[in-house]
Amino acid sequence: MAAPDTPLQAEHVDAAEYGSVGMVKKEEVSSLSCKASKQSTWEKEYANPWMLLLNALAVIGYQIISMFMVAYQVLWRQHYIMRCVRPLATWQIWSCEYTKAYTRFFPLVAILISMSLVRSMILIQRMYYQLLHHGAILKFKEYKATKEPIFYVLTICLLHAASNYALDKLTQGKVTEHFQALDWANSTAQTFELVEGTRGWFVYLVIPIGAFICSLYFAHEPAYNLVPLSRYVHGESILDEEMAQQSLKELVSIQEDHVQAICEHWEIYPCTTAEEAGKAYKDLISIAKDFRDSGAVIVGKQHLTKRLMQSQITDRFWPAKFLFQPGLQDEESVLFKRVSRSYDMCCVAAATCCMWLFLDCGWNDVLDVASGQVEDLSALLVEAAHVAFALFYIAQILRTAC
């Protein structure tokens, strides 16, 4: 859908701006034009492209670091995982190989999902601040964390990974490097070793992974990390604060569903200046406001079953359809594209490394199966699923980054 030749003007575009948003009385426009041209405090702290990235990493970055530490323990040092060797029974080896694969790969999957969450936050917050910049509040869709499919998939994977430890503790006659079955007839040294092993398992695996899943449950909602009202109305002078308070009264509310549907078919004519880019955003606000006032209901093209499985993390990649358009050629939009696409390439590189690790482990298991260790087929099944996930992840990033 092309932008109209004569842009529709929402009711907020008649007034002068406070920094980048903001309205004052018309009779004050001439005296405040120099004030209106400067950037407001909240924009410098929250809306700058680099600040979007840094703030998102500040919220989610610790998850990536903690999961990398877990991956170092279980994948490279091979600690806190069961060794699947004889004299274990056949069914025990099959179960060991199957659950061990989950233990080794869970932190890698968690890293990719955390990086997706950062990308989602960057895109949706950029759209939110640009709409706020031009006089509109984006009202987010009501998502429920209990209906997030990734949350349940990760929980299932975690239970499989935890079962590797349970199997290691309950299986008799095993050979393991880090855990040994408790023999009550021996000295207390063996008891101490078991307690220390269990403590390490909790410290290096259970706590960071549990914290990751809990944070995913709460951090998926971008509204929790937006500019607070106290910063929005903050100004360097009393006049600035009065302008901010006036702008707050004039803001209009538009629905995320409406904006998303418009962006699906929106084509922007070349905008080389901030004023021309602002015109495109104001047109977007006008049409979304018309949708709201007319009571329009946006029905997606996806089937119901597909929508039920839609992750709210990847679902909020939708602003890329608008923000990455070639027509947005003003300085700040170009900077945002560079920052966001550089991060996208980091996501693709991380997914490629993870996929290489999955394939490397899978190839080793193929060689083991060829040598007669058919029990490794259970691990191959898990590795194939993880390779498919990495390919899907890369496809999702590239599809919305182009």
What pLDDT digit, counting tens, does each position of 79-111 carry?
778 888 777 788 888 888 899 899 889 889 989
What pLDDT digit, counting tens, does each position of 32-81 carry?
333 333 456 787 778 889 999 998 888 888 888 888 888 888 888 877 78
What global pTM score does this model have?
0.78
- Phi, psi angles (nearest 5°) of residue 325: -65, 140
Cα–Cα distance, 60 to 63 (Å, whole number): 6
Distance of CA 202 to the CA centre of its chain: 26
What are the structure tokens assigned to 346, written together?
A: 């980091």
Q: Residue 34 has what pLDDT?
A: 38
Is 139 a domain residue? yes
Cα–Cα distance, 310 to 354 (Å, whole number): 23
Q: Residue 304 has what pLDDT?
A: 36
Cα–Cα distance, 398 to 387 (Å, whole number): 17
Please compute, for residue 401, the number of CA atoms within 13 A of its CA located in the half-sphere on the CB side: 21
Is 156 a domain residue? yes
Tell me which residue of 149, 121, 47, 61 sits closest to 320, measured CA to CA: 121
Cα–Cα distance, 394 to 351 (Å, whole number): 7
CB 127 within 8 A of CB 322: yes
Residue 251 carries which DSSP code?
-
Cα–Cα distance, 282 to 3 (Å, whole number): 11
Q: Residue 337 has what pLDDT?
A: 93
Question: Exposed/middle/buried for 319, CB within 10 Å: 0-12, 13-18, 19+?
Answer: buried
What are the structure tokens assigned to 297, written together?
A: 């209901």
Q: What is the DSSP string of 120-172?
A: HHHHHHHHHHHHHHTTEEEE-----GGG-HHHHHHHHHHHHHHHHHHHHHH-S
Cα–Cα distance, 200 to 191 (Å, whole number): 14
Tell me which residue of 47, 65, 352, 343 sits closest to 215, measured CA to CA: 65
Q: What's the domain range around 391?
A: 26-401
Is 259 a domain residue? yes
Is 2 a domain residue? no
Q: Residue 185 has what pLDDT?
A: 45
Is 214 a domain residue? yes
Is 272 a domain residue? yes
All residues at 6 or more sequence positions from 382 whose CB lies less than 8 Å from its CB, including other chains: 98, 101, 102, 105
Q: Residue 194 has what pLDDT?
A: 57
Q: Residue 40 has what pLDDT?
A: 66
Radius of gyration of the chain (CA): 26
The stretches in the chain having pLDDT less than 50 are 1-38, 173-185, 300-309
CB 362 within 8 A of CB 383: yes
Is 219 a domain residue? yes
Q: How many domains does the chain have?
A: 1
Q: Residue 170 has what pLDDT?
A: 76
Is 3 a domain residue? no
